[in-house]
Amino acid sequence: MTCASALVLFGCSSLRHMLFHSAAWDLGIFDQAVYLISQGKSPISSFLGFHILGDHAAIIFYPLALLYKIYPTVYWLLLVQAIALASGALFTNLIARQAGLTTDQATAIAVVYLLYPLVFNINLYDFHPDVIALPALLGAILAARLGKFGWFCFSIFLVLGCKAVLSLTVAAMGVWLLLFEKKRFCGAIALLSGIVWFVIATKAIIPFFGGEAASVTRHISRYSYLGNSFGEILQNLLFNPNLVLGKIFSLDTLEYLALLFAPVIWGIAPRHLLPLIAAIPTLILNILADASQQRNLVHQYSLPILPFLLVLLIQTLAAGQGWIQRPRKIILWSLVAFFALGKYGYFWTIYLDSLDTWQATRQAIAQVQTQGGVYTTAEIATHLTHRPLIEFTDVNSPPADLTKFEYILLNARHPGWLSNRDFAINLINQLKNTKNFQLSYQQDEVYLFVKNSLVEIKRVN
């Protein structure tokens, strides 16, 4: 079941990418960084403008770069994501068996995991290192319960290496293990390592590699109403609670919690809510954020909640409680939730909206034959990120100097995220009238301009 799920997930994300619906933000960012690491170059993202460690202190990109040593392709990231998401079912099954559930019940819980809408949906939203932390958190829970300290430590360090903010989840998990699971050694390791890594990542790594743009703009802007630094935000949370009460007691929060718990509401028992202690940091961050994408089952922000939600279900079933206890009915409920909230319908709707220029776009990409700088749409960018310089079209932030690029590839019919048709057409007309670029390819409103100096070099060669 795990292997089949990995194949389905990989196939879906690959198809989405091939249909030009992956985007520079975030797949392009991570693909470019991993590629540069694999080439021995500094992974400074031209999309972000700073070193990839300044984004989320995600050191996991360095071991991922070993795959690019074999062959540099973005499909490695999509494959790793699919395997990571699917393998969560295996760990879920093992935790259920360890808790005393029957084989059928344990299998049903694994199916609940695979059909939880967030698992399928996040697989379609480019790539995020958070997905690697999902099976690692489940593995850590299993290791703690089995007393496998080495395995537990490895799992914890893997989680911490995926994203700095996950250190809060690790620390909260430590509290849960220490006080309520009576796993004192594992709990202390998780609590201490989570706190230490959060301080190191936010006070040293992110500011050093990313500067103010990373530590403030990228990470605190969604909580700007609470302060302009981590210290100010913490101070306002503790001493000015009125700022957050409106966020907590709101329809947005109610809707978010309904989405989060509806697929598993059958197994939410008040007596077994303690595992959700580890999910509190993620819940708070999502509820308090100004960004609505942190409160849905499409983006990656709710992933750290899922392992502990599953443990809650397992403990409910182990105690013979829950609205539904029969495996078949549990699976049926999960199927209904998946069909209601899964984004599988994108494959015959929005993912086909640029099919009319698909062939022309592929032919234009094939003519980008050097590693020179590229300026293109956010969706095309993910197919050309193996180079030090690439940027995507943004009507709010046009490039000050187009001559720094060797290729400019535009799709006037489908101008892409953060762009529009007027912006694309104006830029195409500007390039047609400049002496710096030459129109190299044109079909179905797809245009490829090549810098004249590069054209001259090709002629000489």
pLDDT at 185 over 60: yes
Is 396 in the same domain as 306? Answer: no
Q: What is the pLDDT confidence band of residue 52, given thresholds at 50, 70 and 90?
A: very high
Lowest-pLDDT range of 74-88, 107-121, 136-150, 210-224: 210-224
Is 360 in the same domain as 221? Answer: no
Q: Are 208 and 54 in contact (CB under 8 A)?
A: yes
- The residue that leads in pLDDT, 359 or 242, is 359
Is 294 in the same domain as 433? Answer: no
Domain closes at, from 290, 325, 348: 348
Task: Note whether residue 29 is domain-resident.
Answer: no
Q: What is the pLDDT confidence band of residue 234, given thresholds at 50, 70 and 90?
A: confident
Is 315 in the same domain as 342? Answer: yes
Segment 117-154, tens digit of pLDDT: 999 999 999 999 999 999 999 999 999 999 999 999 99
Lowest-pLDDT range of 85-94, 131-140, 237-246, 256-265: 237-246
Question: Which domain does 428 fall in, by range?
Answer: 354-460
Task: Note whether residue 107 is domain-resident.
Answer: yes
Residue 58: per-residue pLDDT: 95
Percent of the chain at pLDDT above 70? 97
Residue 237: per-residue pLDDT: 79
In this prediction, residues 202-221 reach a mean pLDDT of 76
Is 340 in the same domain as 359? Answer: no
Is 168 in the same domain as 242? Answer: yes
Residue 461: per-residue pLDDT: 57
Domain closes at, from 348, 372, 401: 348
Residue 215: per-residue pLDDT: 56
Tally of domains within the chain: 2
Pairing of strands 407-411, 446-451: antiparallel
In this prediction, residues 21-50 reach a mean pLDDT of 95
Task: Note whether residue 250 is domain-resident.
Answer: yes
Residue 177: per-residue pLDDT: 97
Residue 265: per-residue pLDDT: 96
Residue 89: per-residue pLDDT: 98
- Chain-wide mean pLDDT for the chain? 93
Domain closes at, from 287, 318, 348: 348
Task: Note whether residue 46 is domain-resident.
Answer: no
Q: Which amino acid is at 368?
A: V
Residue 240: per-residue pLDDT: 82
In this prediction, residues 33-62 reach a mean pLDDT of 95
Residue 246: per-residue pLDDT: 83
Distance of alpha carbon 9 from its chain centroid, rounded?
Answer: 14
Residue 242: per-residue pLDDT: 83
Q: Which of 307, 386, 354, 255 is nearest to 145 (CA)?
A: 307
Q: What is the pLDDT confidence band of residue 59, given thresholds at 50, 70 and 90?
A: very high
- The residue that leads in pLDDT, 218 or 307, is 307
Is 236 in the same domain as 160? Answer: yes
CA distances in angstroms from 2 to 8, 70, 107, 250, 371, listed in the order given: 10, 25, 11, 38, 38
Predicted structure pTM score:
0.94
| 42 C-beta neighbours (distance < 10 Å), count | 11
Is 375 in the same domain as 271? Answer: no
SS3 of the chain:
CHHHHHHHHHHHHHHHHHCCCCCHHHHHHHHHHHHHHHCCCCCEECCCCEECHHHHCCCCHHHHHHHHHHCCCCHHHHHHHHHHHHHHHHHHHHHHHHCCCCHHHHHHHHHHHHHCHHHHHHHCCCCCCHHHHHHHHHHHHHHHHHCCHHHHHHHHHHHHCCCCCHHHHHHHHHHHHHHCCCCHHHHHHHHHHHHHHHHHHHHHHHHHHHHHHHHHHHCCHHHHHHCCCHHHHHHHHHHCCHHHHHHHCCHHHHHHHHHHHHHHHHHCCHHHCHHHHHHHHHHHHHHHCCCHHHCCCCCHHHHHHHHHHHHHHHHHHHCCCCCCCCHHHHHHHHHHHHHHHCCHHHHHCHHHCCHHHHHHHHHHHHCCCCCCCEEECHHHHCCCCCCCCEEECCCCCCCCCHHHCCEEEEECCCCCCCCCHHHHHHHHHHHHCCCCEEEEEEECCEEEEEEHHHHHHHHHC
Segment 398-450, tens digit of pLDDT: 888 999 999 999 999 999 999 999 999 999 999 999 899 999 999 999 999 99
In this prediction, residues 288-292 reach a mean pLDDT of 89
pLDDT at 7 over 60: yes
Q: What is the pLDDT confidence band of residue 457, given thresholds at 50, 70 and 90?
A: low
Percent of the chain at pLDDT above 90? 85
Residue 400: per-residue pLDDT: 81
Residue 110: per-residue pLDDT: 98
Residue 275: per-residue pLDDT: 96
Task: Note whether residue 240 is domain-resident.
Answer: yes
Is 380 in the same domain as 302? Answer: no
pLDDT at 213 over 70: no
The whole-angstrom separation of Cα 58 and Cα 68 is 17
Is 82 in the same domain as 132? Answer: yes
Is 226 in the same domain as 360? Answer: no
Q: What is the pLDDT confidence band of residue 386, given thresholds at 50, 70 and 90?
A: very high
Q: What is the pLDDT confidence band of residue 244, given thresholds at 50, 70 and 90?
A: confident
Q: Are 118 and 300 in contact (CB under 8 A)?
A: no
pLDDT at 259 over 80: yes
Is 257 in the same domain as 397? Answer: no
